[in-house]
Structure 1
Amino acid sequence: MLESVRNNIENSKLAERGETIVVGISGGNDSTALLHILWALNSHYQYGWKLHAVHLNHGFRGEEARRDADYAEELCRFLGVTFHLFERSIPDVMKQTGAGAQEASRAVRYELYKQIALRTGAAKVAVAHHADDQVETVLFRLLRGTRLSGLAGMPVRRWLVDGSVELIRPLLHLRRAELERYCRENGLSPREDSSNRSRKYARNLIRLDIMPLLEQVNERYSEHILSLAAAVREDEACLQKLSEDRLKAVVIKQKNGDVTIDADKFQSCDVALQRRMITLILSYLSSQIEWSSQHVEAVLRMIEGNRPSAELDLPGGITAARMYGRVRFQTDGQKRHSPIFCYQLAVPGTTVITESGAAVHTFYRDGPIDWERIPDHAAVFDADRLPGPLCVRNRKQGDRMPLWGAAGSKKLKELLIDAKVPQKWRDRLPLLTAGDEVVWVPGIRRSAIAPVSERTKRVLYVEVEFGEEWREVLM
């Protein structure tokens, strides 16, 4: 057993000599075996690893959970491994986030792993997933709905903190029975979590009922699933590289919690790459969510729609919005903090205001104006009397506007309050400016600047097309 894990670690370069490694330990069979194996390898082969064990009491099982924590702490004391104990109320986390028990528990555990890794300078976080867990994961994803990438199963390594901390799975090639035998042979008495026998959790139902039935169909079914997962990982590595390369050419803007892509370039790619690019974007915005094929297909349908604009709400507070050739993905954090924007207006032409989910169309027109047919979100100006270059921006402190049909000017803030524009929308509302003057608040009020008269030689027509999200705001 030790040689098998040692060869796996060295051949895959999962851990280097002298590294600090954080080990997740529940006190159960698998994590107990993992910690003991790493400790034994470190002792026998002088790797110089500094081991830190992290245990989380989830707040579910009362005294049973406390005894699990005591066992994990006692084992670490015996092995001389630094022990970190945390207690969190996962039921409270579930209420706050709406996540299920296992999803919430996993999110909290992995956040604690990251905290300890960063605090101790650890390069690796080791978890005890094994081959049977891999089979269970592939079946779970298949039944829940997944594409080819989901059938690849869990990777032996992935970044937990980009560029600095890796999550590793040194036992992924071993079976559960092998780890149970290791614990018995080494005098270990791991704890058994009673919740692992509860069929209210889908994964438990797969492990306890479905997998034994599959074994009756073919006793080697798990080998075939593991072989499939290995082949899919090889195919996925190739397709993933192609997707990453294409995504670089498609992205217009990318920053924390905010990604904008060119819809036309995106749709020119093969649909197999499109799906992977969507998953890459969603995983960048939230790595804690396992994005399913339903999420990906919903985004694809939204992008392919024939309406000029559309918006889609996704888990984790993420939205995807399409507007005139662009698709913008945002997290809640980015939506709460409206960015400052200012675009020089294309005259004539169309200017897409990504931050507002709007597009501004302009053109020159001749002949008399049919005032009755000008829509609410359009305005006309004497092009030769505008006081400066035309831009579209969001509001600034102190903005005022001379009002059409009224004496004097009015503060923009008061104008928006009178129009009952919700506060959270005010910084996103696009304003038309000419030089330093605000000349139009679309859908609300036009200024007294550059009116069209009988002396006008060139009429500038400006119309703003708002996305669906603005319907209730500017009715």
Structure 2
Amino acid sequence: MPGAVAGVLARAGVTSGSRLCCCLSGGVDSVVLLHALCEARDGLGFTLSAAHVHHGLSPHADDWLAFCRDLCARLGLPFLSFRVAVRRDDPQGLEAAARAARHAALAQVACDWLAFGHHQDDQAETLLFRLFRGTGVRGAAAMAEMEPPADGRAGRLRPLLGLRRARIAAWARERGLAWIEDESNADPRFARNDIRHRIVPAIEPAFPAVVPVLARAAGHFREAGELLDQLAALDEAACGGTMLERDALLRLDDARLANLLRWQARRHGAAAPSRNRLAEALRQLRGTAAQHPLRLSLGALACCAYRGRIWLEDAEPPVPPAPQPWCGEPRLPWAGGWVAFAPAVGAGLSRAMLERGAALRLVPRASGLRLRMAADRPRRSFKNLCQEAGIPAWLRERLPVLEVDGVPAWAGGIGCAAGFACAPGEAGIEPVWRTRA
């Protein structure tokens, strides 16, 4: 057991400088994992701690917390505990709500790796559970043995994922280990318990190796999912990056286009959109004239099409920030996107006029904004300017304005005011507004 665990840690690159935290429920799986990690630590030299999440769902929850605390005290390990409130009316179900609360709590642990006690039977049950719910390739990949740290989040390790539940329990009995039993694990009202206690045992007489075979299938699905992710990355690059070029994107067939948008949604931190929502978005993107702005709901995200670009953004976009000074930085963040300031010649804002300004600020659009876009034209209202520039309604409230000593000199998506425009051949600064970072 310690050898199998150490092998996973070595493949993950765990070294003497690594900080591991064992997610300790008190059940046999996590108790075995904790002891195996203690033994593996002697060879690899990493720092080890444990964390327990008190969900408050069982009348025995306080006893489980005390058990885990005492176990870590006997092993001489630092111990953290978290108390969470679980929504009992969560539309995804109590199990999903408890899982979400647990992971949110564990995300607070200062470590490089969180280690979980999931095993091969858990993997098989997870695959069946997701297939019964109509999952796609990525969902059928179930759990990974290793998820590297990313975006400031600790990595995740499942060192027991290749081992059967029975083998883990046998090792615990041989060592004389104590653990707790969660009575909810026998409750058939929970779908996973029904799979574990009724469905898998019903399959095993005909297919004795059903658990390792399902676990192996999850690995195949994972490989397929990784290839789809690689294809999405290639397609994104070919379509101009995060802000996708409309013409290039629509040359992809529906399957590749949907794969790319799902991949972008996950990178955005959102769940992949449903098949029906995605199909409707593709229908409208292909059936609407290029000059017509679109904002299509994909659930937590919206798919936006504007001026030859297509991108995903939060369905409830960030509000514009408070006014912020511009002191020559190459870019400033703005409402989930950014404004870049690129050197130019004969285009954009006059550098000389900007340098003469005492206070340059990026501000939200003020009520009553009017701009003169050419010396021989009258000042126009913000509404008229947006209509002429084709700026859709959903972008107007987020539009950035650059003020020079309180006077609007540039508005995102609209352009430069005539009084600040760069003359031909003159050194200038050209602001560029991107709605997504």
Bigger CA drift: 78-87 or 108-117? 108-117
In structure 1, give the amino acid aligned to 2:122. D
Matching of residues 450-469 of structure 1 within 5 Å: none
Deviation at 1:219, TM superposition (A): 1.5
Aligned to 1:217, which of 206, 212, 215? 206
The CA distance in 2 between the partners of 1:425 and 1:267, in whole Å, is 23
* Change over 3 Å in CA distance of 1:161–1:13 after alignment to 2: closer
1:58-103 CA deviation, whole Å, 9 max, x = no partner? 1211x31111111111111111111101111112xx66x7553222
* Change over 3 Å in CA distance of 1:48–1:100 after alignment to 2: same
**Considering only aligned residues, what root-mean-square deviation do their CA atoms show, in Å?**
3.8
The residue that corresponds to 1:5 in the other structure is 5
1:102-122 CA deviation, whole Å, 9 max, x = no partner? 2232222222222112xxxx2
1:200-230 CA deviation, whole Å, 9 max, x = no partner? 3222222222222222331122222222222
The CA distance in 2 between the partners of 1:262 and 1:338, in whole Å, is 28
Q: Is the 8 A contact 1:142 1:151 kept in 2?
A: yes
The CA distance in 1 between the partners of 2:219 and 2:3, in whole Å, is 22
In the alignment, structure 1 residue 131 sits paired with structure 2 residue 120: yes
* Change over 3 Å in CA distance of 1:199–1:38 after alignment to 2: same
The CA distance in 2 between the partners of 1:425 and 1:232, in whole Å, is 39
1:420-446 CA deviation, whole Å, 9 max, x = no partner? xxx998725899xxx9799xxxxxxxx
SS in 2 for 1:247: helix
SS in 1 for 2:14: coil
SS in 2 for 1:146: coil
1:299-324 CA deviation, whole Å, 9 max, x = no partner? 24312322456544445x32233456
* Change over 3 Å in CA distance of 1:226–1:424 after alignment to 2: closer
The residue that corresponds to 2:66 in the other structure is 70
* Change over 3 Å in CA distance of 1:187–1:314 after alignment to 2: farther
Q: Is the 8 A contact 1:263 1:303 kept in 2?
A: no
* Change over 3 Å in CA distance of 1:338–1:192 after alignment to 2: same
Matching of residues 370-385 of structure 1 within 5 Å: none
Q: Is the 8 A contact 1:23 1:52 kept in 2?
A: yes
The residue that corresponds to 1:83 in the other structure is 79
* Change over 3 Å in CA distance of 1:244–1:80 after alignment to 2: same
The CA distance in 2 between the partners of 1:237 and 1:333, in whole Å, is 30
The CA distance in 1 between the partners of 2:189 and 2:306, in whole Å, is 43
* Change over 3 Å in CA distance of 1:41–1:400 after alignment to 2: closer
In structure 2, give the amino acid aligned to 1:83. F
Q: Is the 8 A contact 1:27 1:68 kept in 2?
A: yes
* Change over 3 Å in CA distance of 1:264–1:203 after alignment to 2: farther
* Change over 3 Å in CA distance of 1:143–1:321 after alignment to 2: farther
The CA distance in 2 between the partners of 1:430 and 1:56, in whole Å, is 44
In the alignment, structure 1 residue 49 sits paired with structure 2 residue 19: no
Aligned to 2:304, which of 321, 324, 331? 321
1:152-188 CA deviation, whole Å, 9 max, x = no partner? 2212112454266311111111111111112211222
The residue that corresponds to 1:282 in the other structure is 265
* Change over 3 Å in CA distance of 1:410–1:149 after alignment to 2: closer
In the alignment, structure 1 residue 157 sits paired with structure 2 residue 146: yes
In structure 2, give the amino acid aligned to 1:278. L
Aligned to 2:57, which of 60, 63, 68? 60
The residue that corresponds to 1:191 in the other structure is 180
The CA distance in 1 between the partners of 2:395 and 2:281, in whole Å, is 23
Q: Is the 8 A contact 2:232 2:256 kept in 1?
A: yes
* Change over 3 Å in CA distance of 1:160–1:103 after alignment to 2: farther
SS in 2 for 1:334: coil
Q: Is the 8 A contact 1:28 1:192 kept in 2?
A: yes
The CA distance in 1 between the partners of 2:232 and 2:397, in whole Å, is 35
In the alignment, structure 1 residue 111 sits paired with structure 2 residue 108: no
1:422-473 CA deviation, whole Å, 9 max, x = no partner? x998725899xxx9799xxxxxxxxxxxxxxxxxxxxxxxxxxxxxxxxxxx
The residue that corresponds to 1:39 in the other structure is 38
SS in 2 for 1:125: strand
Aligned length: 351
Matching of residues 166-177 of structure 1 within 5 Å: 166-177=155-166
SS in 1 for 2:108: helix
In the alignment, structure 1 residue 182 sits paired with structure 2 residue 171: yes
* Change over 3 Å in CA distance of 1:14–1:34 after alignment to 2: farther
* Change over 3 Å in CA distance of 1:312–1:215 after alignment to 2: farther
The CA distance in 1 between the partners of 2:318 and 2:170, in whole Å, is 52
In the alignment, structure 1 residue 298 sits paired with structure 2 residue 277: yes
1:29-77 CA deviation, whole Å, 9 max, x = no partner? 211111111012224x2x222112111111211x311111111111111
The residue that corresponds to 2:249 in the other structure is 266
* Change over 3 Å in CA distance of 1:102–1:151 after alignment to 2: same
* Change over 3 Å in CA distance of 1:400–1:26 after alignment to 2: same
In structure 1, give the amino acid aligned to 2:302. T
Deviation at 1:401, TM superposition (A): 8.7
In structure 1, give the amino acid aligned to 2:21. V
SS in 2 for 1:245: helix
* Change over 3 Å in CA distance of 1:24–1:324 after alignment to 2: same
The CA distance in 2 between the partners of 1:193 and 1:279, in whole Å, is 37
Q: Is the 8 A contact 2:22 2:48 kept in 1?
A: yes
* Change over 3 Å in CA distance of 1:424–1:4 after alignment to 2: closer
In structure 2, give the amino acid aligned to 1:427. E
**Which is higher, the Rg of structure 1 or of structure 2?**
1
The CA distance in 1 between the partners of 2:152 and 2:396, in whole Å, is 39
The CA distance in 2 between the partners of 1:19 and 1:281, in whole Å, is 31
Q: Is the 8 A contact 1:22 1:113 kept in 2?
A: no
